[in-house]
Structure 1
Amino acid sequence: MDLYDSEERLQIFPGEDTRTRREVVQADMNDHELGDEFDDEHRMGALGYPPYGMTRQDPAREQRDWRLGSEAAEAEDLAYGGQGLAGQCQDLREAYRYTHGRASEEYECYVIPEEEDEEEPADNFCVTCKTPIRAVEKDSDKHRGHEVTALSKALESAKHMDVCVLQIITFYKRMPYVLQENFGRQEQNFESHYNEILEMLAQKYEEKIQALGKKKKEKLEALYGQLVSCGENLDTCKELMETIEEMCHEEKVDFLKDAVAMADRLGKFLKTKTDVELSTQPEFEDQTLDFSDVEQLMDSINTVPAPCAPVINPQAPNSATGSSVRVCWSLYSDDTVESYLLSYRPVQDGPAGKDRAEFTMTVKETYCSVRNLEPNTQYEFWVIAQNRTGPSPSSEHAVYMTAPSPPIIKRKAIRSCEDAALICWESGNLNPVDSYTVELTQAETPEASGVTESVVGIPTCESLIQLQPRHSYTIYVRALNMGGPSARSEPATVHTTGSYFHLNKDTCHPWLTISEDGLTVIRNKRKIFQREPPPNKTQFTRCVAVMGNLIPVRGRHYWEVEVEEQLDYTVGVAFEDVPKQEDLGANCLSWCMRHTYASARHQYEFLHNRTTPDIRITVPPKKIGILLDYENSKLSFFNVGISQHLYTFSCQFHQFVHPCFSLEKPGCLKIYNGISMPKHVTFF
């Protein structure tokens, strides 16, 4: 069935104006002429509005069956998939088809049911529901409140939107071709400009090459002319040299006579200016010949030659102090020298990359005392001789060293007895020294200018020196290196009247305090300790004790300890490695006397390896004398107040022992050492 055949067949809705229907049909045909790219029936199917009594096919399939080409089909797919602007066109076209019943021959026909032929045709369109409505349905409850417009007005709007959508799709379809055409045009333009630039560069290159060739030729010609002129001047100089040599072989008198004439002739020649300037070439301006060698040759006729390199001497013994050093060198006897340049710098022990400060001084003699130097430091010296002719080559480098700084004696570390003294000191130098020297002078003869005794070659910072008993000595220490000895240290005094020592703070129990003079041990009453200190190999931790540093000399040593009658204390001797976690006298490495006071009674024990003899002391001593006799292997205790012997241990000391002192309760012990042994002690 074709709705375009005749007017009678288009009278689906009676009463409608034939002219109006023709305009609609003609508008529809114009739609197809714009591009044949939209199908009204297909759009109505996509929006879900089927015509009365029509069986619809798949919208995608119907679109492919349409007479559109491949480009129109793709554009239709885009419009169909987006459902944007084309969606409303489809709705309006569906309404048109629904109203007029038009269909193409290429679509299957549909039959309007007979019962609907008598119904009133639709002349309105509901925009909200997207369906055509009749006049009777306009005010029904179903479409109440919806936006309703005339069907013809909605159709005209849909046609206008179809044209816009088609133009947009056509523009996007042609965009790749337009871009490709533009890119091709730009590529041709770039290639053309590139070829023009290459031709221009090649032309410029040829022009520059030709210009440089001309300049090169001109410069070579000018240089050749200068070389010819220089050769002529050299020939003239050669003739003068031959003349001078002939004159040197003649007698001196004749030489002196002719020298004046030759000097005048040579002076005139030297005043002659050689013009080799090139006006066209600024590079060759001021090209005059240099006759300085000839002038030096003429001056050397009546001058002496430059001196040879001096020979620097090695450092002499005792040629340095802590801040100065004496440097000497020698020179050949035939050389004439006006002055010397002496240079020096400190020897660097670190990396060679660091800069070292150099110092130079002018000297007239072949020796010099360099001052303001650092003590015990090596310096590198070299010398250059010079006269009016010029300087000599440099001498070889020699290393000199300043003397060390004076050592510092540790007075509190000095220990002595009747026969010897142990002296300790600090080096006072950053760098090591070769050795030390101890100088002794008897204090009874301060007016004596000389030294009573010297001990040399001491490698360490302490020395045990044998002395005369019952004397006082003033002791000095010097440090030595290859530069010489240092100045004397500050003096220290040593007495040989008896054994002298200090208490060792490294062994002191934390509960004890040692006085500044190092001879008093104090346990304070106010200090209460809840627990014992941790174990230590050098410090007493269980026994509240301290050791003294007795001089390591095998002989007789005597000292005294002042005690209180009601004080609990322990005094004696012990080896250095005695266990610090045990009480004194509780092992075989210590010998001691212990006193305890309880219930107004005094108890005395002489302990060694936890054993003690049964001895009773009726008079409590206030001062206890202790005699250590290595020769007889004895350790004796005395009551100094009444000169009473208390007890003697007979023991073998396979190594040196140290005095020990312990306080069981708060109190203090005062030690007297460096005293002579009483007469009652000498009998034991």
Structure 2
Amino acid sequence: MDLYDSGDGLQAFPAESGRMRRGAAPAEVTSEPRGAARGQPPRDLEEEVDELVHLYGLEDDDELADDELGDEFVTENAPRIEVSEYAPHVGTRGEPATRQRDWRLGAEAAGEADGLGFGGWGSEGQCRDLREAYRFARGRSSEEYECYVIPEEEDEEEAPDVFCATCKTPLRAAEKELDEHRGHEVTPLSKALESAKDEIHRNMYRLEKQIIEMENFASHLEEVFITVEENFGRQEQNFESHYNEILETLAQKYEDKVQALGERKKEKLETLYAQLVSCGENLDACRELMETVEDICHEEKADFIKDAMAMADRLREFLETDTDVDVSAQPALEDQTLDFSDVEQLLGSINAVPAPSAPVINPQAPNSASGSSVRVCWSLCSDDTVESYQLSGRPARDGAPGKGQAEFTMTVKETYCSVRNLVPNTQYEFWVTARNGAGVSPASERVVYMTAPAPPVIKSSEVRSCEEAALIRWESGNLGPVDSYTVELTQTETPGASGVTESVVGIPTCESLVQLQPRRSYAIYVRALNVGGPSARSEPAAVHTTGSCFRLDAHTCHPWLTVSEDGLTLVRGDGRAPAREPPPSDARFTRCVAAMGNLVPVRGRHYWEVEVDERSDYTVGVAFDDVPKQEDLGANCRSWCMRHAWAPPRHKYEFLHNKMTPDIRITVSPRKIGVLLDYENSTLSFFNADTSQHLYTFSCQLQQFVHPCFSLEKPGRLKIHNGIAMPKYVSLY
């Protein structure tokens, strides 16, 4: 219950509120307490607090109230409350936790409070603060009152800034010197966060890979489950159909046999009954004759002779009549042979199912192939019963069925098959037949499937990079064309680490310009894609975005120059004629003793340094690919360069383009020359890298990419330093 809630809640002074609801005029707003407004002496603030405590049943611990609050309240012109250090949360934002604060009720605040029903207690916010302080002092605190406010300045000072890798916990800078962390591996907190993020990315990549494998396995199990269910369902329907037919045949035979037996029984009984009636009639006749004979025997002789003669004729006639004493219908049952040949035929037909119809091969599903295998699926009519399938295939050249190609077959139980040991990026045609006890189905139509490509091969020697991008080139690694390529990037110090940070998809050619972050190390992979799916990863190429990288091209060197094995040092010996004359080439310099570096084909800013001998004659600059090889560098509109000539005791420096040079004097001879090529602003700048001095800047018309170029007019050497970070003073130009 909030005693100091808004007017919609419970009123703090019910009696006074009731008076106001009855239409009484509100009290005059003054700066005096309510009691003084009615002509009564001012009441002590402590008495009013005790009255509130008694009114709302808060006097749980009078002793605490007396001890902690008794000395805190002082009556002045306006009520004043001093909150002790035991309630630091009462202070305003930004005040120290131990600082006391007071509330003073002015005339305006008192008027607002009186209008809300709080009398001389001050504003609603002040009363709420008073209530919080009182509840805290009375010991009725909850978890929210046990928390102390920590100043923001202390938070900033106490924030952890390092991470103890041994204890796996963040530390403040001062704590890493404690004995419990002495000798532990401590890294900056930002670096630890980056490492944790990289680890999370790698784990997410592994988890995604495991999820894909489990989904594929679950799909495989689902297909097996459906196939088994369909086969057994068809078999169950077949059995039910045949057994119903057998039961119907047996029931019909039962009815026929029962009817035949009833007719035979009726016939026999009627015959026996007629014979029994005839026998009874004969028996009655015999009895009558016997009685008659007995009567005759008791007559007189004369009558006896007379009647005896007549009776003799009658007896003779009766006895001469044939009496059938043979039973016409024997009681024994005849052998009733039951013919179950048709039932046996039906029972035999249960296993004599018809041969299945031709299966239908499904079109190739996306990502259903690898570089050496392909997954072929097909379907069958639901009424067919199949024991096995025979899948056949052979290579298809140019998308057409191959003639004379080697065929291969395999027998499977399911409606799918993974065919292995195939050639990458190759089309194969497949067809399938179904088999059961009745025979083999016709072959399905032939469908062309394609294996995934072989992994591309990155040309590490042609990888070019700067601080914000890299140009990646690769070979397809496949005989036929592929649909597209995908470049995968991993931010890591070790090229073999897993976890893809970024992917560039849908690349149509064998090169890609990838935007990167400065001063990072990347492992770059390439995949090829076709309708069968993506290839495996290529071997990684390591790229460090710390500066531009290029090498000297030995095919452009003048015969008097030699390039070191690492491609970064150019040497001119004392002899003029080379030991072995190189073959003629349009790309080789003939008149100017010069050499060109690899093309710098990445837009942006490129920086490298050239270490020179201050007593040698050299030229450093850039040139287009079609710069005339019979002219000196800087003598045409296709090249820009800085030229140095040593004529003791002075050095001569020229910045040449199309045979023109500005009038510039260089007092300090550079031992290391910094070159800044800026494609975006079309400028070429030279610096003294030893003294951080800017020498000169060309405004160039760079419509295409350029090559770094170098020349040695006298015996000497120069060394190129690239792949280095751009100095801060260079970034100003």
Return the TM-score normalized by structure 2: 0.51
CA contact (8 A) 1:497 1:674 kept: yes
2:249 alignment partner in structure 1: 251
CA apart distance, 1:565: 2.1
2:692 alignment partner in structure 1: 643
Counterpart of 2:424, as a letter, is: P
Distance of 1:483 and 1:259 partners within structure 2:
62
Distance of 1:348 and 1:650 partners within structure 2:
56
1:519 alignment partner in structure 2: 568
Which residue, out of 460, 484, 487, partners 2:533? 484
Which residue, out of 486, 506, 524, partners 1:437? 486
SS of structure 2 residue aligned to 1:251: helix
Counterpart of 1:386, as a letter, is: R
1:540-559 deviation digits (Å, cap 9, x = unpaired): 22212222234333432211
Aligned-residue Cα RMSD (Å) equals: 3.2
CA apart distance, 1:501: 2.0
Q: For 1:139-178, what aligned pairs fall within 5 Å after superposition?
A: none
1:211-268 deviation digits (Å, cap 9, x = unpaired): xxxxxxxxxxxxxxxxxxxxxxxxxxxxxxxxxxxx999835557997645799xxxx
CA apart distance, 1:597: 2.2
CA apart distance, 1:444: 5.4
Distance of 2:706 and 2:382 partners within structure 1:
70
Distance of 1:405 and 1:299 partners within structure 2:
54
Q: Which moved more, 1:316-325 or 1:653-662?
A: 653-662
CA contact (8 A) 2:462 2:473 kept: yes
Distance of 2:453 and 2:381 partners within structure 1:
35
CA apart distance, 1:647: 2.1
1:359 corresponds to 2:414: no
Q: Which has the larger radius of gyration?
A: 1
Distance of 2:596 and 2:640 partners within structure 1:
13
CA contact (8 A) 1:521 1:669 kept: yes
Which residue, out of 445, 460, 470, partners 1:411? 460
CA apart distance, 1:603: 2.2
Distance of 1:394 and 1:566 partners within structure 2:
85
Distance of 1:511 and 1:447 partners within structure 2:
42
Counterpart of 2:550, as a letter, is: F
Distance of 1:368 and 1:350 partners within structure 2:
21
1:605-627 deviation digits (Å, cap 9, x = unpaired): 21111122333333322111111
1:249/1:418 Cα in 2 relative to 1: closer, same or farther (>3 Å)? closer
CA apart distance, 1:451: 1.8
SS of structure 1 residue aligned to 2:529: strand
SS of structure 2 residue aligned to 1:679: coil
Q: For 1:367-516, what aligned pairs fall within 5 Å after superposition?
A: 367-443=416-492, 450-516=499-565
CA contact (8 A) 2:527 2:534 kept: yes
CA apart distance, 1:604: 1.8
1:583/1:447 Cα in 2 relative to 1: closer, same or farther (>3 Å)? closer
1:302/1:582 Cα in 2 relative to 1: closer, same or farther (>3 Å)? closer
1:314 corresponds to 2:312: no
CA contact (8 A) 2:374 2:420 kept: yes
Counterpart of 1:640, as a letter, is: A
1:615 corresponds to 2:660: no
Distance of 1:530 and 1:319 partners within structure 2:
59
Distance of 1:376 and 1:652 partners within structure 2:
44
Q: Which moved more, 1:547-556 or 1:307-316?
A: 547-556
1:660 corresponds to 2:658: no
1:373/1:544 Cα in 2 relative to 1: closer, same or farther (>3 Å)? same
Return the TM-score normalized by structure 1: 0.55
Counterpart of 1:317, as a letter, is: P
CA apart distance, 1:483: 0.7
1:582 alignment partner in structure 2: 631
Counterpart of 1:492, as a letter, is: A
Distance of 2:708 and 2:633 partners within structure 1:
11
Counterpart of 1:311, as a letter, is: V
1:597 alignment partner in structure 2: 646
CA contact (8 A) 2:249 2:343 kept: no
Distance of 1:447 and 1:426 partners within structure 2:
21
CA apart distance, 1:350: 10
Which residue, out of 528, 551, 558, partners 2:600? 551
Counterpart of 1:538, as a letter, is: A
Distance of 2:384 and 2:399 partners within structure 1:
39
1:626 alignment partner in structure 2: 675
CA contact (8 A) 1:536 1:580 kept: no
SS of structure 1 residue aligned to 2:455: coil
2:381 alignment partner in structure 1: 332
Distance of 1:682 and 1:250 partners within structure 2:
98
CA contact (8 A) 1:523 1:663 kept: yes
Counterpart of 1:679, as a letter, is: K
Distance of 2:630 and 2:386 partners within structure 1:
80
Distance of 1:351 and 1:644 partners within structure 2:
68
SS of structure 1 residue aligned to 2:628: coil
1:378/1:678 Cα in 2 relative to 1: closer, same or farther (>3 Å)? same
1:485/1:254 Cα in 2 relative to 1: closer, same or farther (>3 Å)? same
- Runs of 5+ unmatched residues, structure 2: 1-244, 255-336
Distance of 2:338 and 2:360 partners within structure 1:
41
Distance of 2:478 and 2:700 partners within structure 1:
45
CA contact (8 A) 1:500 1:550 kept: no
1:487/1:261 Cα in 2 relative to 1: closer, same or farther (>3 Å)? closer
CA contact (8 A) 2:246 2:347 kept: no
Distance of 2:353 and 2:666 partners within structure 1:
103
CA apart distance, 1:324: 1.0
2:12 alignment partner in structure 1: none
- Number of paired residues? 407
CA contact (8 A) 1:594 1:606 kept: yes
CA apart distance, 1:455: 0.6
SS of structure 1 residue aligned to 2:652: strand
CA apart distance, 1:299: 6.2
CA contact (8 A) 1:422 1:551 kept: no
Counterpart of 2:482, as a letter, is: V
1:258/1:606 Cα in 2 relative to 1: closer, same or farther (>3 Å)? farther
1:621/1:309 Cα in 2 relative to 1: closer, same or farther (>3 Å)? same
CA contact (8 A) 1:535 1:581 kept: no
Counterpart of 1:251, as a letter, is: T
CA contact (8 A) 1:315 1:400 kept: yes
Distance of 2:542 and 2:600 partners within structure 1:
16
Q: For 1:231-246, what aligned pairs fall within 5 Å after superposition?
A: none
CA apart distance, 1:493: 1.4
Distance of 1:426 and 1:447 partners within structure 2:
21
2:80 alignment partner in structure 1: none
1:260/1:657 Cα in 2 relative to 1: closer, same or farther (>3 Å)? same
Distance of 1:502 and 1:263 partners within structure 2:
91
1:588/1:302 Cα in 2 relative to 1: closer, same or farther (>3 Å)? closer
Distance of 2:583 and 2:595 partners within structure 1:
16
1:255/1:546 Cα in 2 relative to 1: closer, same or farther (>3 Å)? farther
SS of structure 1 residue aligned to 2:461: helix
Which residue, out of 584, 591, 595, partners 1:542? 591
1:393/1:354 Cα in 2 relative to 1: closer, same or farther (>3 Å)? closer
Distance of 2:391 and 2:699 partners within structure 1:
72
Distance of 1:569 and 1:553 partners within structure 2:
26
Identity %: 74
Counterpart of 1:336, as a letter, is: T
Distance of 2:554 and 2:250 partners within structure 1:
92
CA contact (8 A) 1:248 1:255 kept: no
